Amino acid sequence: MKKILIAILVIFALGACGKDKEESVQIEKKPRSVRYVIAADKGVEYSRTFSGNIISEIESKLSFRVAGTIENKYFKLGDSVKKGQILAQLDEENYKLSVENSLAQYEHSLAGVAQAEARLKSAEASFVNSKNEFSRMEKLYYDDNVSKSDYDNAKANKDVTEAQLTESKASKNSAIASLKASNMQLAQNKLNLGYTKLIAPQNGFIVSEDREINETITAGTPIYTVSLGDTLETETFIPENLVVNLNRGQEVAIEVNALPGKIYRGIVKEIGSSSTGYGNSFPLKITLLENDSQIKPGMSTKITFDLSHKKDSQIIIPLSAIEQDAAGNKFVYILTNIAEGVAAAKKTVITLGKTYSEGVAVMDGIKTGDYIVSSGVSQIADGQKVAIPSKEVR
């Protein structure tokens, strides 16, 4: 029994010696090396590039003002057009017949007016004669020189011719109204005949062909989409978190993919007021400030927005400096008690702002001049001693 007790004591003694040796090794172990950056309040060089397409400042969908069948089209996609040129033609036979019929109706109405005027003149003459005769008979009757029947006959004749005069005036007015209606119909049919030709409203070029020859179309059906004027634009869509940083009149850089190596200047012309129909993006239109005949609508573009002047000075740190704890808090390690290449790592919870190409903005938790561990963050703990390089790392 005595021997067993002695053995146990020896084991405990050896274990204690091993622990002392292990603690001695840990004490002598060098601190883990880390790198750091010094927090500085600075502006951010910030730009973003988005894809877009060239469009004309004015694009018009051209259509016939009457229905019909397309007989001819005289221009193709990409063709230049001049103001007044005929772009397309409808089958005009029915419209020619309408003009001929309305012309015949107009001539008939014109003859009707002439006849009504002749009848009116005759009625006016008859009325004048019957009126004069009645006046004469009336005087004779009151002088007892004619009979009552002669007087009544003269009066009846006057009344008849007066009624005929009224009817003739009404007939003439009706004939004149009919003439005006037929004249208006003739004019409208002549216009419709003219509308069978699609005319270029001004100089431009064909952006798209929307209908083909032999198609029967209704009035207002687009036949061509035409780019009008000389000013070109490019349009794109900007995420909602960036659109607040843009202003109308802001200058941008534009690269046309079909013309590599050339950078064109442009200014923001329109910023959409709503993202409805565009997801979480807002439509933008940018006017090109330089003319180049090589640039055509439909060409794809890259539009670069310089947003640096929109950002106030702020502290930016690299993503590698940031960790997240079990509670979901973002934190960094700030170096404290720096002396002879050794420092203590202090865990500090931070509030993050926007992310940029240089890193992440810190809104709260650190201040200018703080030494922030930027490398080896996941290998250290709060309060741990660490080794740091003698030169600042930026």
> Which of the listed CATH numbers 2.40.420.20, 1.10.10.520, 3.40.1170.60, 3.40.50.300 matches domain 30-44+313-387?
2.40.420.20
User: Cα(372)–Cα(394) distance, rounded to whole angstroms?
Assistant: 10
Total-model pTM: 0.53
> Which of the listed CATH numbers 3.20.20.70, 3.40.50.1000, 1.10.287.620, 3.40.50.300 matches domain 93-194?
1.10.287.620
User: Which pLDDT score is estimated for 391?
Assistant: 55
User: Which pLDDT score is estimated for 25?
Assistant: 46
Residues contacting 387, CB < 8 A, separation 6+: 30, 31, 32, 33, 34, 341, 342
Residues facing residue 217 across a β-bridge: 68
User: Which pLDDT score is estimated for 86?
Assistant: 97
pLDDT digits (tens, 9 = 90+) for 240-251: 878 877 888 999
What's the CATH code, domain 60-90+196-216? 2.40.50.100
User: Which pLDDT score is estimated for 28?
Assistant: 53
User: Which pLDDT score is estimated for 392?
Assistant: 46
* CA-based nearest residue to 355, from 266, 239, 192, 194: 239
User: Which pLDDT score is estimated for 110?
Assistant: 95
Residues facing residue 265 across a β-bridge: 253
What's the CATH code, domain 50-59+229-310? 2.40.30.170
* CA-based nearest residue to 206, from 299, 297, 80, 86: 80
- Domain ranges for the chain, please list them: 30-44+313-387, 50-59+229-310, 60-90+196-216, 93-194
Residues in the chain, pLDDT under 50: 1-6, 8-10, 19, 21-26, 392-394
* CA-based nearest residue to 88, from 67, 102, 74: 74
Torsion sign over Cα 68, 72, 78, 79: negative
Q: Contact, 380 vs 373, CB < 8 A?
A: yes
pLDDT digits (tens, 9 = 90+) for 211-270: 999 999 999 999 999 988 778 899 999 888 788 778 889 999 999 999 988 999 999 999
* Percent residues over pLDDT 70 in the chain: 87
